[in-house]
Structure 1
């Protein structure tokens, strides 16, 4: 398939005419949390040009949450082979996708990628689709493959939060926003449905309760179950919390293993909520305890305090603009990335995770939240 309709000659400086572009493709082909952390950049693109339309090309993992993001007008779902969420799409599917993109007649594309990902495969896809302008970070000069190339400032390890990285990218073409919060629409119906399902499971919303999300897609980011159990037993016995275990349907058995070790004040809700109702559950929860995974960023978007057990992998995905405690733990040697650059986690990674640190973090955040609520009612 030949690339079409591309400008020839010298690459134009970024931002020279982006204010005229109304139909933009945003390429963010990875996970739910990555999509959420890009929402301030989406907002900057929308706010900077009236009536601009944003279409998001994302993975099946990211598509569900994308439909709850008000800045996104349309969603295209495809699991691309150059990201971790890749599925069984064969090489013949790529030219078909390029033709689909071509038919949308995009004015430009913005390629959003984490520091450790190579943007050039996504740029090539957009090039084949005939999208005339492309913005993205890149380490090496992509020449005519990416018209609006921004040299990537993060070469060896990530040096800024993912939200700041993507805001910095779109700012190079004159797109900014004063609102840097993550964006997620949670309906009152979703909140009520979540509370109804909790009540049906026997959870008393008028008594202390917490969410515990012990699963994660990558084993290297999973805090050990026995450590979660030790922390949860203290939270139940000493502080009287009810624990609601959440996760995907595939994680239900794993959550059940933890629940059985905790007794009658723990409830296994893994796989029982739609994504929209799960967002309502997080929005209503007093606090979330989780591995470094998508629900942490959902909590950030809706303002729910979070204790995150953070594997020492990518350092730029901590909770954003929400009360939080980050507790770090080392990835077992056998699970560490093949990319040795990703093993250079910045030090000091403190405080370190432990059951006692989890309990302390929960109580600190709950007390802080209670003090704020008490002050607001004075």
Structure 2
């Protein structure tokens, strides 16, 4: 194993919002174990929104890598060459390349090699030869399966970075907390449960049907006072507005109206998150908010980490397909979940939450009485 000292470390995580959140414990492990080092995260535009809430980072570099799924079409390679020169000028002495096991780290390793970064660390399935100085042979999923958080902690452990508290931790500014609380107080009566519903996902294969979200919300509302806020990005605004209109008067859409920090604060003030397997589920984990997750079985390692949760899916022989579109065309891993199952899971988590709330918190007394 390479023993070159590391003072200026580039961490590479080019995936989406939730992936960066699940990398936070590993980033914090590096920061705590090597307090003298400067930590920079290289990530996607979506990932940067999550990175802004990770306190251990000193800097964030945004890059749309041409080997990633949602990158813009390449019409001119010059900007990529310019970016490698920029990395070279920053004089990093190590690069830690975080990937899921279905990704190849070698394009990022090549970029770091060309940028003159002398130490390059990653899991890799094939022999990387000189592209990686610290090669950890890829063992997933054939030999083991582990949560994404555990995978990234295992990677940094190889360079001596560990952390005792492995829950996802983010920083929410007090002003954002107050904004979130003000929004809830303006919408929900004191005795009502506060529920965030996030019906979107970047991959169609991970989207539970809108009509079932609506049916589940109505079922919850019929059995417990509740107010729902629908969240999503601008591209999901029509979906969120449709659900808000059909779910009843105790529901409002804020899709496209919140930045990432406001979204996190709103979830932090909620009693429950009801979501597909997407960034909202990982924000719930980061804020210790209970979550019901409609979990398409496209891949196994992205369930909510270290928070009370009910992960709902329907077992199918074609699970773990790693596809953005259902290759069978039936979406049974989600369509096999009834709206009533979703409502029951939500009510069970809410009941457990209220039982553990302090008796001095009057907002929960009506749910815990008797």
Normalization by structure 1: what TM-score?
0.88
1:357 corresponds in structure 2 to 341
Partners of 2:247 and 2:59 lie apart in 1 by 43
2:219 corresponds to: 234
Question: Are 2:103 and 1:123 aligned?
Answer: no
The residue number in structure 2 matching 1:222 is: 207
Of residues 347, 352, 355 in structure 2, which corresponds to 1:371? 355
Q: Name the CA shift for 1:204/1:339 in 2 (closer, same or farther; >3 Å).
A: closer
Distance in 2, Cα, partners of 1:265 & 1:339: 33
Residue 245 in structure 1 maps to residue 234 in structure 2: no
Shift of 1:257: 1.2
Deviation at 1:376, TM superposition (A): 8.8
Partner of 1:76: 61
CA 1:337–1:207 in structure 2 vs 1: closer, same or farther (change >3 Å)? Answer: closer
Moved more, 155-164 or 27-36: 155-164
Task: Confirm or deny: 8 A CA contact 2:122 2:155 kept in the other structure.
Answer: yes
Picking from 87, 93, 97, the partner of 1:107 is 93
**Contact 1:30/1:85 (CA < 8 Å) preserved in 2?**
no
Gaps of 5+ in 2: 328-332, 362-370
Residues 18-57 of structure 1: pairs in structure 2 closer than 5 A: 20-57=5-42
Residues 272 and 329 of structure 1, relative CA distance in 2, 3 Å threshold: farther
Conservation of the 8 A alpha-carbon contact between 1:213 and 1:247: yes
Q: Give 1:5's aligned residue.
A: none
Cα shift readout 1:42-98 (whole Å, capped 9, x = no counterpart): 011111112211100000010111011011110000111111231235422221111
Q: Is the CA contact 1:220–1:331 (under 8 Å) kept in the aligned structure 2?
A: no
Which one of 305, 323, 333 corresponds to residue 320 of structure 1? 305
Q: Which secondary structure state, in structure 1, belongs to the residue aligned with residue 100 of structure 2?
A: coil
Task: Determine helix, strand or coil for the equivalent of 1:311.
Answer: coil
Paired residue total: 353
Find the residue that maps to 1:277 and give its secondary structure.
helix
- Greater shift, 159-168 or 363-372, is seen at 363-372
- The aligned counterpart of 2:52 is 67
Is the contact between residue 115 and residue 158 of structure 1 (CA under 8 Å) also seen in structure 2? no
Conserved 8 A contact 2:298-2:323: no
Q: CA 1:339–1:223 in structure 2 vs 1: closer, same or farther (change >3 Å)? A: closer
Once the two structures are superposed, residues 107-164 of structure 1 have per-residue CA deviations (whole angstroms, 9 ceiling, x without a partner) of: 1000000011010000000011010000000001101111111101114597100000
